[in-house]
Structure 1
Amino acid sequence: MYINETKIKVRYVETDQMGIVHHSNYYSWFEVGRTEFFEQTGMSYGDIECQGILFPLIESGCIYKEGAKYQDELTIRTWIQELGNVRVTFCYEVIRDRDHKLLAAGKTVHAFVNREFKPINLKKINKDLWEKLKVLIATEE
């Protein structure tokens, strides 16, 4: 299974009055991780959208274990947990680099739709993209 690791450093603007990262920022980091995930595998959101395939968010969740703080250096780990014909589930871990502590774990579920936001079966519509994504979730046995 392919796991992308994206490095970020917490900015002051991402923290609240207590100096802890506001919970909403984790979802922005998930998006950064997901974008980097695609780019590191030779695909990009832009390229996929040019083919008429969109990935709207249909579900999200995050478990917060410990708050990140200003100037923490973090790693966002991103991978595909599940790939179906009409949706894909990404998982994320936010890890503080200095002590390798898991700060948050989350997931997002995205539908495959066309430009009119009608659901599509990715396996039928774009077999090449489907195969590329399948390879990324294959586990070694």
Structure 2
Amino acid sequence: MFVSEVKVDVRYAETDQMGVVYHANYLVWFEIGRTSLIKDLGFSYSQMERDGFLAPVIDANLSYKKSMHYGETASIRTWVDSYDGFRTVYAYEVLNPKGEVAVTGQTHHIVVKKDSFRPVRFKNYYPEWHDAYEKAKKQGED
């Protein structure tokens, strides 16, 4: 599988009173990772929006393993966990500076028309992107 990696400096505003990253901020980091993956594959989510489509999250799960703290740098690893031409599941690992897994998770997405929120088959509108996802999820399986 193709894995994208991006680094994020933990900002003070992302922490709670204990100096630990507030749990909901990991979803924001997942979005950073997802956007980076899409860009690394040669596509643009913002262009898809300009084309009149959105890819809302329909399910999300996170599992917290270790705390991240203000001043640390998180590495967000993102890949296409599953894809069927309609639904995409992205998987994530957030690593602390020691390379230890702090958080794992997945987000599930479908593509909808922006004006009606009606679901569409992604592969029918973006065949090149579809092919890239098929290839990305298979890389490393050989």
TM-score, normalised to structure 2, is 0.93
Which residue does 1:90 correspond to in 2? 90
Letter in 2 for 1:103: A
The residue number in structure 2 matching 1:42 is 42
Gaps of 5+ in 2: none
Structure-1-length-normalised TM-score:
0.93
- Counterpart residue number, 1:23: 23
Partner of 1:102: 101
Identity %: 34
Aligned partner of 1:57 in structure 2 is 57
**Deviation by residue 1:31-81 (Cα, 9 ceiling, x = unmatched):** 011111111221111122233332011000100011101111110000000
Number of residue equivalences = 140
User: RMSD over aligned Cα, in angstroms?
Assistant: 1.2
- Offset of residue 10 of structure 1: 0.5
For 1:53 and 1:37, locate their aligned partners in 2 and report how far apart those are by CA, in whole Å. 18
Q: Would you identify which runs of 4 or more consecutive aligned residues in structure 1 move more than 4 Å?
A: none
Unaligned runs of 5+ in 1: none
CA distance in 1, matches of 2:37, 2:128: 17
Give the aligned residue type for 1:123: K
1:66 partner SS: coil
